Structure 1
Amino acid sequence: MNKDFYTVQEIADLLRVQVSAVRNRLSRGDPTLPPSIRVGGRRLFPVAAYQEWINALVGSAQAPDNAGRVLATAEPRRGRPRQASRGLA
């Protein structure tokens, strides 16, 4: 049986992250998740959109101009700066 949609649990399993991490990213509108739709009270991820999204990530990682870049955008650190960054090494 072919599926048309993944659930939040299945996306978490595919991305190897916690379900709570997926939900947090969804609530923040984080672009590091595949496209999703809301049906009633459920969030569903179309399988075709997931495949396109993951292929785009893999393709951009293999491109020669992206050598050494991280796939996900790093968020700026929050909290107190480290001693080394304050010049107190």
Structure 2
Amino acid sequence: MTAAVEIYTRPGCGYCSAARSLLTRKKATFTEFDVAKNPSWREEMNDRAGEGSTFPQIWIGSTHIGGCDELYALDREGRLDTMLESVKAVS
């Protein structure tokens, strides 16, 4: 079973920091895959999100959110809290 929220990151990525910050403010528990710590995670991310994907790549449950901009867009639309609550209820 996959974690409720998963995020693939790389060091020095401002978008990765912003996405982690929003998830932390939302008190979302997430699993971070830092590709500097395990290079095979980059290949795994590309397999899941598509070759040439940028950082970060985020999943909430089985839904691929995309990157930081998409995560913040969900929050502005008022949909992020609902998504996070739905995966919290399943965990």
- When normalised by structure 1's length, the TM-score is 0.31
Where is the strand percentage greater, Structure 1 or Structure 2?
A: 2
The structure with the larger Rg is 1
